[in-house]
């Protein structure tokens, strides 16, 4: 099924829920992001519905529901093979924690419900009769290509600090500009970001990295200084790099390890991010461009709760660039082979993909990788027990040390991956070690 057909079915299923509510005597509308995305002709992710019906009335009306957030008036309705969040018109007040309202009061008018929303293009509604309700100028913002708040930006961000990060994400995703008062509101309220759980920031940031405008998102994110106010401290190396960009932009000499930079006015290799379809490679390219090594890259992604497996992958790629950074020409092959052995062939492939996307391919490194017949101890044609038996020595830490030495020699092409050649080389190595200890 084509995407537009799927979207049309989802839209019509949402309108069917609206009509069911209206048939029971309630007001109901499609609201928020689905209306915005429909206007922009973007794919629909989900559909939210606002209604005058109280949660208990919604639950009684539909056969399959879930009490998603009764306190805030939300019931999930499952109809037509889809799920819809149906929320009672409400007014919010008191945001003492900088994230959620202290009080929620149900109201009877749609416009009062729309007034509590963050951005004007998220404060539109669509009726079953085909009418677009837009009391705060959401269509004007979409036509102008700007992010505008419902009411005063500083007040909106003071209510919910995560809205500042969302403003940046929307601007980058749609290719929009942040209006001056929106930017000023972010700068004035940025210290309130300390009230937001780190995983919420991580989720938004990750969406930016996977979105349509990661380079614009990172520019706004760093220039705003928001990251200095994250609830939990980020790695010092990253914090310092972000602060340098906020103050000065990227300095002319700023190049990632391996010269990924394409424009001295950007943060390292920022401009190549859209050329990388894989979000994890975007993370790796960004962090490598900031001189963030393996340890700090892993720490950052773990702090943002993006998952251990993803953190390990990004860290390995950052480690490849870190290892190659500053190498003299005559040392590069040995450094590259060592990096591949330490961080893995897949990390090396990822690093080569990043270089290619940044139009600065590592042709020699690609050739060296292709020439490596093995890249892990498991691929050696000799095992630890065979070493122990051949050399007549009890197992111990020396086995791992010897295998690593044999791997380095074989990967660099100095030894063939043949059992008896490797055993002989191991015997010679151990003899030299004993000689050296005398």
Q: pLDDT tens-digit profile of 43-74?
A: 999 999 999 999 999 999 999 999 988 888 99
Same domain, 12 and 91: yes
Confidence (pTM): 0.89
Higher pLDDT, 94 or 142: 142
Residue 276: pLDDT over 60: yes
Residue 1: pLDDT over 50: no
**Which residues are within 8 A (CB) of 63 and not within 5 positions of it... i.e. 6 or more apart?**
none
Residue 264: pLDDT over 60: no
Structure tokens at 141: 């913002």
Where is average pLDDT lowest: 20-24, 197-201, 234-238, 254-258? 254-258
pLDDT band at 255 (very low <50, low <70, confident <90, very high): very low
Stated as kind and residue range, the H or E segment containing 49 is strand 48-51
Same domain, 9 and 131: yes
Residues 298, 311: contact at Cβ < 8 Å? yes
**Which residues are within 8 A (CB) of 393 and not within 5 positions of it... i.e. 6 or more apart?**
430
Q: What is the DSSP string of 182-196?
A: HHHHHHHHGGGGGGS
Tens of pLDDT along 310-348?
A: 999 999 999 999 999 878 888 999 999 999 999 999 999
pLDDT at 15: 97
Where is average pLDDT lowest: 141-150, 255-264, 269-278, 377-386? 255-264
pLDDT band at 256 (very low <50, low <70, confident <90, very high): very low
Query: Does a structural domain hold residue 89?
Result: yes
Average model confidence (pLDDT) across the chain: 90
How many independent structural domains does the chain possess?
4
CATH of the domain at 421: 1.10.246
Same domain, 305 and 330: yes
pLDDT at 322: 92
Q: Could you tell me the residue range of the domain that residue 200 belongs to?
A: 145-232
Pairing of strands 103-106, 90-93: antiparallel
Same domain, 210 and 302: no
Residue 249: pLDDT over 70: no
Residue 265: pLDDT over 90: no
Residue 372: pLDDT over 60: yes
Same domain, 39 and 55: yes
pLDDT band at 257 (very low <50, low <70, confident <90, very high): very low
Same domain, 333 and 259: yes
For tokens 């309108």, the residue is: 15
pLDDT at 260: 40
Beta bridge partners of 119: 149
pLDDT at 268: 47
Query: Does a structural domain hold residue 16?
Result: yes
Query: Does a structural domain hold residue 81?
Result: yes
Look at residues 295, 253, 288 and name the one whose alpha carbon lies nearest to residue 270: 288
CATH of the domain at 228: 1.10.3090.10
pLDDT at 6: 85
Q: Cα–Cα distance between 130 and 73 in angstroms, integer?
A: 25
Query: Does a structural domain hold residue 238?
Result: no
Query: Does a structural domain hold residue 105?
Result: yes
Same domain, 99 and 25: yes
From 232, 265, 294, the end of a domain falls on: 232
From 81, 110, 136, the end of a domain falls on: 136
Same domain, 211 and 151: yes
Q: How far is CA 384 from CA 145, 309, 399, 427, 430, in A?
A: 64, 29, 6, 13, 14
Beta bridge partners of 82: 79
Structure tokens at 285: 């390219």
Question: What b/e string do you get for 81-90 counting C-beta neighbours within 10 Å, with b at 16 or more?
Answer: eebbbbbbbb
pLDDT band at 289 (very low <50, low <70, confident <90, very high): confident
Helix residue ranges per DSSP H, 66-179? 110-114, 138-144, 153-159, 162-174
From 136, 153, 187, the end of a domain falls on: 136
pLDDT at 262: 36
Same domain, 168 and 129: no
Where is average pLDDT lowest: 30-34, 97-101, 176-180, 301-305? 97-101
CATH of the domain at 107: 3.30.460.10
pLDDT at 437: 63
List Cβ<8 Å contacts ≥24 apart for 427-435: 427/390, 427/391, 429/402, 429/405, 430/391, 430/393, 430/398, 430/402
Average pLDDT for 401-428: 94
Residue 263: pLDDT over 80: no
Residue 258: pLDDT over 50: no
Higher pLDDT, 400 or 98: 400
Pairing of strands 146-147, 177-178: parallel
Tens of pLDDT along 5-18?
A: 789 999 999 999 99
CA angle (218 as vertex; 213, 224 as ends), nearest 5: 125
């Amino acid at each position: 099924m084509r995407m537009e057909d799927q979207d049309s079915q989802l839209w019509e299923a949402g309108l069917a829920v609206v009509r069911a509510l209206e048939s029971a005597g309630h007001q109901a509308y499609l609201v928020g992001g689905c209306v915005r995305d429909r206007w922009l002709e973007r794919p629909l992710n989900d559909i939210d519905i606002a209604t005058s019906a109280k949660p208990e009335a919604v639950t009684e009306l539909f056969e399959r529901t879930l009490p998603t957030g009764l306190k805030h008036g939300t019931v999930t309705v499952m109809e037509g093979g889809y799920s819809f969040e149906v929320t009672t018109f409400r007014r919010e007040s008191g945001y003492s924690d900088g994230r959620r309202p202290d009080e929620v009061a149900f109201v009877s008018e749609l416009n009062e419900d729309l007034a509590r929303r963050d951005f004007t293009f998220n404060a539109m509604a669509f009726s079953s009769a085909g009418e677009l309700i837009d009391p705060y100028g959401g269509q004007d913002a979409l036509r102008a290509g700007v992010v505008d708040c419902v009411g005063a930006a500083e007040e909106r961000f003071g209510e919910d600090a995560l809205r500042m990060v969302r403003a940046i994400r929307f601007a980058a995703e749609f290719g929009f500009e942040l209006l001056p008062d929106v930017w000023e509101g972010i700068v004035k309220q940025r210290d309130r970001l300390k009230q937001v759980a780190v995983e919420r920031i991580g989720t938004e940031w990750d969406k930016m990295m996977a979105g349509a405008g990661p380079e614009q998102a990172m520019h706004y994110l760093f220039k705003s200084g928001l990251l200095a106010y994250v609830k939990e401290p980020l790695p010092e190396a990253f914090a310092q790099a972000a602060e340098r960009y906020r103050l000065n932009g990227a300095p002319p000499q700023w190049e990632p390890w391996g010269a990924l930079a394409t424009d001295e006015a950007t943060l390292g290799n920022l401009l190549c991010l859209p050329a990388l379809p894989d979000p994890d490679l975007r993370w790796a390219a960004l962090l490598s461009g900031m001189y963030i090594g393996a340890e700090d890259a892993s720490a950052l992604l773990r702090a943002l709760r993006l998952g251990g497996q993803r953190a390990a992958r990004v860290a390995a790629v950052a480690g490849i660039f870190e290892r190659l950074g500053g190498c003299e020409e005559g040392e590069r092959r040995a450094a590259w082979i060592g990096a591949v052995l330490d961080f893995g062939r897949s990390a090396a492939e990822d690093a080569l993909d990043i270089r290619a996307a940044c139009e600065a391919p590592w042709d020699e490194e690609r050739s060296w990788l292709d020439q490596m017949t093995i890249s892990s101890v498991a691929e050696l044609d000799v095992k630890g027990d065979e070493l122990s038996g051949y050399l007549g020595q009890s197992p111990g830490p020396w086995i791992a040390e010897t295998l690593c030495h044999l791997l380095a020699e074989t990967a660099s092409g100095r030894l063939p991956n043949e059992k008896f050649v490797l055993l002989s080389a191991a015997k010679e190595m151990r003899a030299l070690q004993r000689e050296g200890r005398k």
